[in-house]
């Protein structure tokens, strides 16, 4: 009996310790605000005094002085799309950065003609590191004085109105349709628009064909300067509710948070009361059962 109790106590203590470690361990997830690694956004958050939000319900009711950054790697619910639409129409600035995620669903809902092509954009000559890191040029007057942007495994934009184009790739860039890494006659040739801006309602929709320009390791060239121009004097919010979340530590975080949320609900609360009372009432229940 004593050994079993000891084992149970050790198991509970280990579980609690593990939960604390998981809770406190910095997340390695892509684009996460508390990830100081190459693929996180901790530098960006500090540089822009940005505030991560866990839900689109946290959007301000008066968004005119707010810029929301969305990396749509998770599907959007209808009410979330409606929140984005309302945010824009009430004067907010939405910076939608995607390459192979669900950005086109958002654009379609917002009624914007622009689309993410979803094809890999390569540039063998005008690059930051190699062809997977195209350097792109600012063409709009608002960003023309900035250094070139450096992309990281990007795509291109399609159906961009000419006056909406902010940034384009070079003439050497191409969409690698056959995936062989080389330009072939069947591959579409650049220049392609990679960033565009247009008005939606009272707000401003900025579309960028690569979300990676904001990660810690891509604070190069004009990447952050470009975001600063888009930001102006606005407060930057970063939506973390649609980021990729397949990493195990993130999953652990998410589970712990779900447990915490669950315990705060009426059902969870009743369950907690039950769990507390059960050990105390157990002898009485057993005695009653024995008598029957």
**Which residues 28-47 are close enough to bind another protein by CB under 8 A?**
30-31, 38-39
Question: At its nearest, how many Å lie between another protein and the CB of residue 284?
Answer: 10
Query: Rule CB under 8 A: is residue 258 a binding residue for another protein?
Result: yes
Span of 17-25, 105-113, 160-168, 266-274 interacting with another protein by CB under 8 A? 266-274
Question: At its nearest, how many Å lie between another protein and the CB of residue 21?
Answer: 19
Task: List the end-to-end C-alpha distance of the chain, in Å, as a whole number.
Answer: 26
Span of 18-26, 44-52, 56-64, 160-168 interacting with another protein by CB under 8 A? 56-64
Residue in 10, 25, 57, 113 binding another protein, rule: CB under 8 A: 57
- Which candidate, 166, 196, 208, 193, places its Cα nearest to that of 69? 208
- Which candidate, 237, 244, 217, 203, places its Cα nearest to that of 99? 244
Query: Rule CB under 8 A: is residue 204 a binding residue for another protein?
Result: yes
Give 115 or 234: the residue with its C-beta nearer to another protein. Answer: 234
Q: How do beta strands 165-168 and 121-122 pair?
A: unpaired
The torsion angle over the Cα atoms of residues 10, 14, 17 and 23, rounded to 10 degrees, is -150
Residues 228-247 that bind another protein (CB under 8 A): 232-234, 244, 246
Residue in 34, 43, 47, 74 binding another protein, rule: CB under 8 A: 74
- Residues pairing with 127 in the sheet: 134
Query: Rule CB under 8 A: is residue 131 a binding residue for another protein?
Result: yes
- Which candidate, 140, 133, 103, 137, places its Cα nearest to that of 118? 103
- Residue 208, classed as helix, strand or coil, is strand
């Amino acid at each position: 009996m004593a050994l079993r109790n000891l084992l149970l106590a050790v198991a509970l203590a280990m579980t609690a310790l593990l939960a604390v470690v998981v809770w406190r361990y910095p997340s390695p997830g892509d684009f996460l605000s508390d990830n100081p690694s190459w693929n996180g956004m901790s530098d960006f958050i500090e540089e822009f005094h940005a505030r991560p939000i866990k839900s689109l319900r946290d959007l301000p009711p008066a968004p005119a002085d707010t810029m929301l950054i969305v990396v749509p790697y998770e599907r959007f619910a209808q009410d979330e799309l409606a929140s984005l639409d309302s945010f824009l129409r009430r004067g907010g600035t939405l910076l939608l950065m995607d390459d192979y995620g669900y950005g086109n669903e958002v654009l379609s809902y917002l009624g914007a003609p622009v689309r993410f092509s979803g094809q890999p954009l390569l540039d063998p000559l005008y690059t930051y590191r190699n062809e997977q890191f195209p350097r792109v040029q600012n063409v709009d007057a608002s960003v023309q004085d900035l250094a070139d942007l450096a992309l990281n495994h990007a795509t291109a934009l399609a159906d961009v109105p000419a006056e909406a184009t902010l940034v384009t790739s070079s003439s050497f860039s191409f969409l690698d349709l056959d995936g062989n890494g080389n330009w072939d006659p069947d591959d579409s040739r650049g220049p392609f628009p990679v960033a565009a801006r247009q008005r939606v309602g009272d707000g401003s929709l900025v579309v960028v064909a690569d979300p990676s320009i904001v990660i810690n390791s891509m604070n190069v060239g004009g990447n952050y300067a470009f975001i600063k121009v888009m930001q102006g004097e606005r407060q930057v919010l970063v939506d973390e509710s649609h980021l990729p979340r397949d990493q195990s530590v993130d999953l652990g975080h998410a589970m712990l948070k779900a447990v915490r949320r669950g315990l705060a609900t009426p059902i969870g609360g009743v369950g907690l009361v039950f769990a507390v009372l059960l050990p105390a009432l157990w002898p009485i229940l057993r005695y009653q059962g024995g008598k029957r």
